[in-house]
A and B are shown apart, each in its own frame.
Chain A
């Protein structure tokens, strides 16, 4: 059976060049970067080179990059690290309802630990975009942090971070941006965006799983959450995952080189997919905006069909896509993102996310356009008579 992977927002395959770059750092150059001897020095050198490469991807300085275990840890460290010193007095955190669960659940958890946290989730419009005026209205003197994702993982909406950042910085409020889905797909520059803290993950950009980074602008106060050794400036203690960091660095460098050339290809593929869907399937709704969105993401609602059924039907035909978010048991919960952009429960349960990547071909897209209408028809029919 043919296998077509259209779930690049979930994860990406590691590029062969990245694997190649990592290999020497498992057994050959194996030292602990904190060791003073030759073995340690070799490892340290590799680690710092990787840091340079990651910094370069987002226009940061190396000294502003902390390696973490991934996007979720980066978001946790950002929120806990900024808010921990603020716990003495009541404060407000401003975010949006369409953030990744590692942001939303962390803010909520802070709220139960410390009763004085006020969580403000800004309203988003039908495309998932935050309005600058709504943000401005929410910025009170006791606002301790603003956390907004650059690109939404499910519908691909880009937030106008550049328009939002001046009003936040004017008030000297730390601004955290989750760029896990954006990095590698669109150009991300921390200075152009005007952000203070930014989260990254390697496996979304063709690097290994289990490593991410947190950019922390020089001068921004961030407390450690874990305690231990002096690694990562004491902000993230623990012996560094050198091989993974090297892989992350390599992937970042390759992404930075390729972004100009892959961007139009992805747009072309997604445009073709949407055209094909519209042409062959009635009653579809596009949840991904047509402007200011990720080039690789297409979230579509198929009215009257269960997204769960569609996803399984496509999987059995060899096509990997996603719907909603997975729970601990592995079943699907309706997407909180779609609910927040105005979908009703039925609408949120009938959506599928296609996300293309470097290895997606036109043939893949054509095959999906061929397979999908029959599956949608069958699932809709089963739902009607059931």
Chain B
């Protein structure tokens, strides 16, 4: 697919126009990591009046080390803000994070889906509650350290969401829910940089987090053991255990709960004596049945998507796109057919493995994010 050239006028985050930015207040989300630290520093350099905010999301913050809400991260964020000479606050969003992210995360597994908490957190916290706080503080923009870009098309007066310049770090997948109103008040100051450039900038500014390692996994499950995390939250009598069956319905074994499985999963099935690798192809929450099959049997030609968002605000009838059905995946050529104002069918040019309900499908045209939706289920 051709890279569409956009007449981009505004890229406010890297605007050198100090005069113009002076006195414009920005609420910058500062996590304690290097990306948001550099994002915040760039805004300060660009002349904005920046207020740094960390979000307290999970845990009691006591003895909670090595994940995004550890005391050490807040301490790092605070020190970066001090270094940049800007005010710093920690917002208590634990309650919202619990109900809108962790509870949903748990329920989704119980429905046989594989949720994406980062997407939920972006949609409901960073670009909703944080914006509410921005208005409380009279701020014009909310800024984050996401690797994505925002462009402005003066002719159509439309804001565009674009991939980050760094192909390995691009996080536009996690931002497909953004609408025009949100894009117009959002800044992604590191979207035009590579990770390496971000680290170089951090060193140049002597930021204490310059060499901080990447955060991995889901922030509230620091050890990556989802099954254990979920089992602490699901009452034992509500665990949905059942049979493992093959494509013909023949029972191959049993399992201790559907929350332990995701579509395309190969490990942890506990099946012996099979001639070729088997993957989870279907999870049925009603019967508790987990179906497995070969890689070929995992493939589907399309998917149904719900809560579909079109970033430009204009909904097409049908459009050729490059679709990503999970974050770490090369886009695949597909046709999106809009079925209702919030749903769509996505048909792939070639069958693709592991359509995972609960994850997002995001539609691209080159670097441009057209929109996306939540995967409801596969089409044959």
Contact = CB atoms under 8 A, between A and B. Distances in A.
Contacts of A328: 61-62, 71
Contacts of B128: 386
Interface stretch (A8-16, A187-195, A330-338): A330-338
User: Chain A at the B interface: mostly helix, strand, loop or mixed?
Assistant: helix
Interface in B280-325: none
Contact of B137 (A309, A329, A331, A381): A309
B87 A383 contact: no
B92 A312 contact: no
A283 B346 CA distance: 52
Given A329-B69, A330-B78, A331-B90, A316 B137 contact: yes
Name which of B62, B87, B131, B135 has the most chain A CB atoms within 10 A of its CB.
Answer: B135
A7 to B, nearest CB: 15
Interface in A361-386: 378-379, 381-383, 385-386
Interface in B133-156: 133, 135-138
Contacts of B135: 378, 381-382, 385-386
A199 interface: no
A379 B135 CA distance: 7
Contacts of B61: 327-329
A332 B91 CA distance: 7
Interface in A299-333: 306, 308-309, 312-313, 315-316, 327-333
| Chain B contact surface mostly | mixed
Contact of A379 (B62, B74, B129, B136): B136
A333 B129 CA distance: 17
A176 B147 CA distance: 57
Interface residues of A, number: 21
A315 B132 CA distance: 18
A208 to B, nearest CB: 24
Contact of B90 (A330, A382, A383, A386): A330
Contacts of A385: 135
B15 to A, nearest CB: 23
Given A315-B87, A316-B87, A386-B129, A330 B136 contact: no
Interface string B66-90: 0001010010001000000001011
B136 A329 contact: no
A383 B136 contact: yes
A61 B69 CA distance: 49
Interface string B31-71: 00000000000000000000100101000011000000101
A329 B132 contact: no
Contacts of B133: 309, 312, 382
Nearest to B129: A386
B51 A383 contact: no
Contacts of A309: 133, 136-137
A35 B136 CA distance: 59
Nearest to B89: A312
A383 B135 CA distance: 9
B38 to A, nearest CB: 22
A6 B92 CA distance: 23
Nearest to B59: A329
Contacts of B91: 308, 331
Contacts of A329: 54, 56, 61, 69, 71, 74, 90
A345 to B, nearest CB: 9
Nearest to B70: A329
Contacts of A330: 74, 78, 89-90
A376 B142 CA distance: 21
Contact of A327 (B56, B78, B89, B132): B56
25 contacts: A306-B136, A312-B51, A312-B87, A312-B136, A316-B51, A327-B61, A328-B62, A329-B54, A329-B61, A330-B90, A331-B54, A331-B56, A331-B90, A331-B92, A333-B92, A378-B135, A378-B136, A381-B135, A382-B132, A382-B133, A382-B135, A383-B132, A383-B136, A386-B128, A386-B132
Given A329-B74, A332-B92, A385-B135, 4 more contacts: A308-B92, A330-B90, A378-B135, A383-B132
Interface of A: 306, 308-309, 312-313, 315-316, 327-333, 378-379, 381-383, 385-386
The 4 closest A-B pairs by CB, nearest first: A386-B132, A382-B135, A309-B136, A331-B90
